[in-house]
């Protein structure tokens, strides 16, 4: 049973759901890493373009 002070989801019954939650967590980390890399590259490109003019 969930409480109001609970941070996160309830415990899952089937093990496949636990694996799905872990997959979701890892996918979010990979997506965050990719977004950070793209933002870094765009920043470098903008600095290069604005610095050369």
Distance CA 45, CA 18 (A): 41
pLDDT digits (tens, 9 = 90+) for 35-46: 999 999 999 999
Angle among Cα 7, 13, 15 to the nearest 5 degrees reads 105
pTM: 0.69
Break the chain into its structural domains and give their ranges: 15-53
Distance CA 40, CA 32 (A): 12
pLDDT of residue 6: 73
pLDDT digits (tens, 9 = 90+) for 1-53: 667 777 777 777 788 988 998 999 999 999 999 999 999 999 999 999 999 87
């Amino acid at each position: 049973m969930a409480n109001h002070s609970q941070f996160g989801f309830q415990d899952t019954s089937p093990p496949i759901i636990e694996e799905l939650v872990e997959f979701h967590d890892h996918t979010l980390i990979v997506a965050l890493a990719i977004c950070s890399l793209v933002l870094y590259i765009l920043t470098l490109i903008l600095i290069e373009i604005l610095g050369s003019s």
